[in-house]
Amino acid sequence: MSRRFNTAGPCVPAKHYMIPALERLPQGPGLVGQQAYFVVHAPRQTGKTTALRALARELTAQGRYAALYFSCEVGATAGEDYGAASRDILTQIRFNAEDHLPPELRPPAWPVESDASLLQGALRAWARACPRPLVLFFDEIDALRGQSLVNVLRQLRAGFPERENRDFPWSVALCGLRDVRDYKAASGGDPSRLGTSSPFNIKLESLRLGDFTAEEVAELYGQHTADTGQRFAPGAVEYAYELTGGQPWLVNALAREVVEKPQVPGDKMITSGHLEDAKERLILARATHLDSLAARLAEPRVQRILSPVIGGDLLPLDPYNDDLSYVRDLGLIDVNAPVRVANPIYREVIVRVLSASVQESVTANPRSFVRPDNSFDFPKVLTEFAEWWIENGEFLSKGGFYHEVAPQLILMGYLQRVVNGGGSIAREYAVGAGRVDLTIRWPYTTPGGTRDVQREAIEIKTWRATKADPLHQGLKQLDRYLDRLQLDTGTLAVFDQRPSAAAIDERTAITETVSPGGRVITLLRG
């Protein structure tokens, strides 16, 4: 059976291209050897289940431990009924033990206990009966909610001292989307307090499963080349890493979109252009992975972090900022400073989701902005946007939940609507500079058959209360952006968000000005 790029469920070495699972969690065996109770967390679809299952198999196969992986997701439907949650988890443990452990290592009949100590009593009986030290991986632990989660954690904590005499599991890993500090929010506690990891203050380490490195992406794609002979063009693998930031699901989905969907023939190289087209299809298809992230954008905790990031403002990487830790654990932002969206694909998804209502409200026909020679009539776009902004800007700015960056989202949504189908938009959030940079790319063929790519650069800034007019700073920043793009001219959009701003119809205008670098710049004020 030929291997393929996997985007659904755990990876299987015989079926899927994959980075060796144990290489992704190298600290695991050492922590088990220390009798540690620890936490493994990572965003969804990064390979946690694959790594944990492999670690459990390896530990058991070595003959020293009885290690078992299982999911707590079955207990999610129990809600606050912690007895029912414990019974669901114990049922899952028994099923998985029958599938993955030899008979002598499987649990005995569970003892009769009260609901409050059901899990503790069962694990104690199993640890005492098992001829090897017992190692358990509780995956999807944060699927439990309220008192069900608190009860499970408390029972593990109560049994923790007994492990020294082999009267309780030797080592336990709690695995989920979030770090242990966020379990309090899931259990109904105060999510703003990070001073303690209670109710699981026995954890020795908290491990975060990272994204693929550039070398691992090359290794994964190289497996496809080795199996099929199909090569990646120079720069293509590097471009895949740039687009995905190494996020494992995105790395696999991007390649799968190229080799399986509109299949690139095996005798042809996969180019950066193929990957760019695949990226756009993934975004438009709104696959489950991307949809699950998009659903988080309405959460206040996420909004408080992403709003300044979208606006280009600097946000300190404070490890004790609960909102920041939460959004980072979701995988939406990079783990390193400065605070920024994790990768270009997520960046694009975020803006398109947040500006979707704007796109739907734009009635202009995109084809009306195509000139007879098939080039893009960008001056006409700006003129019609200014008229549309006067009519709709105030209403849309006040109606959205990302109101602090509403002008940026509104302009980007309008441009996305009129560019859609013929061109593309590349976005950069200039972190710490208070601006958003956009480049419109419009490939076209003239009636005479000449091919060209038109590029238009736009910088968006806002004028807020207590701040000076950002015009001069914006022109200097735009000069640097145009230098990088090697363009002679561009557009600066400045939106006045001060309470003292003039009426929208009085302040909205399109003029020309000259940048410090001597370029003629189109200035849109709104």
**CA gap 317, 443 in Å, rounded:** 39
168 by DSSP, 3-state: which?
coil
What was the pLDDT predicted at 192? 39
Q: What is the DSSP letter of 68?
A: E
Could you tell me the pTM of the whole model? 0.87
**CA gap 291, 287 in Å, rounded:** 6
Extract the residue ranges of the chain whose pLDDT is less than 50. 187, 189-197
Exposed / middle / buried, residue 108 (Cβ in 10 Å: 0-12, 13-18, 19+): exposed
38 by DSSP, 3-state: which?
strand
Q: Cα-Cα-Cα-Cα dihedral of 252, 253, 259, 264, to 10°?
A: -120
69 by DSSP, 3-state: which?
strand
Select the CATH number that applies to the domain covering 214-285 from these four: 1.20.81, 1.10.3470, 1.20.120, 1.10.8: 1.10.8
Other CB atoms within a 10 A radius of the CB of residue 271 amount to 17
What was the pLDDT predicted at 181? 61
Residues 511 and 523: beta-carbon distance below 8 Å: yes
What was the pLDDT predicted at 195? 38
What was the pLDDT predicted at 249? 95
What was the pLDDT predicted at 156? 93
Q: What is the pLDDT of residues 58-88, one digit of tens each?
A: 999 999 999 999 999 998 888 888 899 999 9
370 by DSSP, 3-state: which?
strand
CATH topology of domain 21-208: Rossmann fold (3.40.50)
Exposed / middle / buried, residue 210 (Cβ in 10 Å: 0-12, 13-18, 19+): middle
| Cis, bond preceding 338 (omega within 30 deg of 0) | yes
Domain positions in the chain: 21-208, 214-285, 355-525
